[in-house]
Structure 1
Amino acid sequence: MSRTLANTLLLLTALIWGSAFVAQATAMEHVGPLTFTGIRFLMAALAVLPFAIAETRLRRDRPLDLRTAGAFTALGLVFFAAISLQQIGLLTTTVTNAGFLTGIYVVLTPLVALLAFREIPHPVVWPASLVTLGGIYLLGGGALSALTIGDLLMLVCAVFCALHVGMIGSVVRHCARPLLLSVWQFAVVGTAAIIPGLLLEPVSMNAVLAAGPELLYTGLVSGGLAFTLQAIGQRWTRAADAAILLSSEALFAALFGALLLGERLGPAGLFGCALIFASILAVQLVPMLVRRPQESVAAPAIVPPVPAEAEPASPA
């Protein structure tokens, strides 16, 4: 696959994820946030299940043990906390704010890794964190008191997303079964959400059918399809390209929020979004750009040996 096609798949992935914020918001005109989350992720689990079965057949050398199953379940519960907070937060915040505030997990991930796993972050994290705080301040119109409960829930959601990212790397390296992990997580989230949703929220078949388009889009397209596109695209493109393209999810969320829901931000809010997006890109790209020249300088030149009976070629 060409790099251009791989980058196109990643851009499509970001577009799908960004537009899913709109579907998540409009679905709650018919069903509650927990019910929606439960049905959505159970559908996503079913969508990815055939691929996980095929992966299992190919990776018979990596059987699932109890320790791995426990790690999968723990990841699913952390993911459940993140996605539930995001869905509930959409009741009282805009799609635009949700996209950018959730994206802050990119900046928070190194900080969570420092506190939870004692991993020293790249120095760029500290100024990026300050810039992000400024962006949040401006996103609230220049006053923290203007942030809604939904905005605050999105910030807590970003913390859980960062914790999830910090945990998932070691789990995947241990088991090398990413598709099975996805299905397991989706099933945990779906089960953990649907039970309290059915008990605490008003649910009817008519309401579920009314939210059907949003459920299909977020469950099958945003969940199953977009995950597959991301896995394929990131195999054939540079990490730096992937970072930029996937980060555009927040921009697509703002775009679809404006086109489909009529959301608008003032100049201060727009500048806040720009600061948050710049911080996200900095945390992802600066370590890569710094590491690459250093590795090039440190790497010794490899000169092929000259056979004993051959003479070196004379310069032209």
Structure 2
Amino acid sequence: MLTVLWYASDMALESMKPFQIMMVRFLVASVLMGMLGLGNRKKAEQATKRAGAIKAGVLMGIALFMGFSLQTIGLQYTTPSKNAFLTALNVVIVPFIAFLILKKKIGIKGIVGAVLSVIGVALLSLNGNLTLSLGDGLTLLCAVGFAFQIFLTSEFVKKYPASVLNMVQMITAFVLSAASLVIFGEMEFQVTTKGWLSVLYLGIISTTVCYLLQTACQKYVDETKAAIVLSMESVFGTIFSIIILHEVINNRLRGVSRMESFEIILERYEKEMSEADKEHWLTKKNEIYKALLKNMSPADLSVEVKATLYGLRESGYKLAIGSSSKNAKFILGQLGLGEYFDAISDGNNISKSKPDPEVFVKAAEYIEEAPKYCLVVEDAEAGLKAAIAGEMNCAAIGDAVGCGLGTYNLATFSELLKVVEN
């Protein structure tokens, strides 16, 4: 249960920087843990052990911060799968920490379980490229941090009140995250509604609830078994990737250039690919795409879209296409929409793709309108960001509504007629 909650939280925090996420999640957890701790402040046992618990909580918080920060930084220099695999190596590190510090004998069952866990995670995470990079090294250090956090929790939770340990652990991680936020210059917050909801989930469920459960469970489970169970996060990571990641990738492919879309697809291909090979497969991919486009016809166009475009033309509005694709003109011809648009700005005449505003700025120039008088209709977050960067109003439709960036949100394309009337 704990590992399900942990992974499910880390899905879509695209609008916040790493230490912003960490600071907010640990701030929320500190407040909630503090409220729980205050509820037990009169207990005699807690009063006598408070000083030791504070020192222990600080050590746990340092280890926790080390794990999260190095994992996040390491992810910028390695692939997500290798990051997940190397982080899960804490399952092997934990029993050796116990052996080195406490001279605790490593049981054969613990060794076998740890090795099997690593093999399982490797099968889920790695696809052949086993070389180590800077990101891999940082992630290995992150695994050491998480291993120490698990080990320290197992030791201290048997000696001190869990409520105090958790509260001090979260406050320590918050303070270190806030200091790192200042040091790395992440002071400017530009967070979407989706971002705030996600980070609140992180703070309440993935941090407060999960670490309360971990601390409570480790009273009865030794550190090696705990590490093995927590390595199941990678299993649920794979499950959630199968269920959700295909949607995330599809949304990211919208509004970007041909090469950028191919690079996004290659994120799931672990081997190195030369520039020549990329060009070869990019050309092959585009040939297949063009062949499919030839099957398009006016019959594929919904009555609603055509009626809406006709209504806009009748009302005297100039219409332009702003697309990163180099096939925009061909697609319009296949759908019989060429006569509805006054200009086309696409991948053939721009050097930067969305979220850069160039494609929309050029479209405005072609129809001789100032950007502030233009309205961009977009179904992709990258397109909305491009419109905002170009100082244009924007109407979000489809999946783009969820990112919270639209000046207007359209449930149907025909609602655009009501928007322009106002």
Deviation at 1:148, TM superposition (A): 5.1
User: Hey, which of these two has a bigger chunk of strand by percent?
Assistant: 2
Tell me, in whole angstroms, the C-alpha distance in 1 between the residues paired with 2:86 and 2:162.
26
Deviates more, 1:252-261 or 1:136-145: 136-145
Q: Runs of 5+ in structure 2 lacking a partner?
A: 250-266, 272-422
Which residue in the other structure is 1:81 paired with? 66
Distance 1:265 1:121, change over 3 A: farther
Offset of 1:141 from its aligned partner? 2.6
**TM-score, scaled to structure 1:** 0.65
Mapped to 2, the partners of 1:72 and 1:18 lie a distance apart of 24
Shift of residue 119 of structure 1? Answer: 1.5
Q: Which residue of 1 is the match for residue 309 of structure 2?
A: none
Report the equivalent of 2:320.
Answer: none
2:91 touches 2:114 (CA, 8 Å); kept in 1? Answer: no
What residue in structure 2 maps to residue 15 of structure 1?
A: 4
Number of corresponding residues = 250
Q: Which residue of 2 aligns with 1:185?
A: 169
Contact 2:150 2:227 in 1 (8 A): no
* Contact 2:25–2:202 (CA under 8 A) maintained in structure 1: yes
Structure with higher Rg: it is: 2
Deviations 1:282-301 (Å, cap 9, x if unpaired)?
A: xxxxxxxxxxxxxxxxxxxx
Q: Name 2:54's counterpart in structure 1.
A: 69
**Residues 49/130 of structure 1: CA separation in 2 closer, same or farther (3 Å cut):** closer
Q: Which whole-Å CA distance do the structure 2 matches of 1:178 and 1:256 have between them?
A: 31
8 Å CA contact 1:96–1:253 kept in 2: the answer is no
Aligned to 1:305: none
**Aligned equivalents of 2:270 and 2:136: distance in 1?**
18
The equivalent of 1:142 in structure 2 is: 128
Q: Percent identity?
A: 23
Deviations, residues 221-279 of structure 1 (Å, cap 9, x unaligned): 11123334556778999x9x9888655322111222333333896899xxxxxxxxxxx
Tell me the equivalent position of 1:272: none
Find the counterpart in structure 2 of residue 196 from structure 1: 180
1:205 aligns with 2:189: yes
Aligned to 2:211: 227
Q: Which amino acid aligns with 1:33?
A: P
CA distance in 1, matches of 2:37, 2:85: 31
Distance 1:137 1:228, change over 3 A: closer
The CA deviation at 1:66 is 3.7
Q: 1:188 to 1:81 in 2, by over 3 A?
A: same
Native 8 Å contact 1:16 1:226 kept in 2: yes
- Kindly state the Cα deviation for residue 104 of structure 1 after the two structures are TM-superposed: 2.6
Q: Which residue of 2 aligns with 1:281?
A: none
Counterpart secondary structure, 1:255: helix
Give the superposition deviation at 1:185: 0.5
1:150 to 1:266, Cα distance in 2 relative to 1, 3 A = same
The amino acid across from 1:15 in the alignment is V
Indicate how the Cα distance of structure 1 residues 118 and 96 shifts in structure 2: closer, same or farther if over 3 A, else same: same
Give the equivalent residue in structure 2 for 1:164.
Answer: 149
Residue matched to 1:49: 34
Contact 1:107 1:129 in 2 (8 A): yes
Residue in structure 2 matched with residue 280 of structure 1 by the alignment: none
AA at the equivalent of 1:225 = V
In 1, the alpha carbon distance for the partners of 2:122 and 2:214 equals 32
Q: CA RMSD for the aligned pairs?
A: 3.8
- Counterpart CA distance in 1 for 2:118 and 2:46 is 46
Which structure dedicates a bigger proportion of its chain to helix? Answer: 1
Gap regions ≥5 residues in structure 1: 1-10, 269-316
> d(CA) in 2 for partners of 1:115 and 1:232?
25
Q: Taking structure 1 as reference, are residues 99 and 19 closer, same or farther at Cα in structure 2, changes over 3 Å only?
A: farther
Higher normalized contact order (CA 8 Å, seq sep 6+, divided by chain length): 1
- State whether residues 25 and 203 of structure 2, in contact with CA within 8 Å, keep that contact through their aligned partners in structure 1: yes
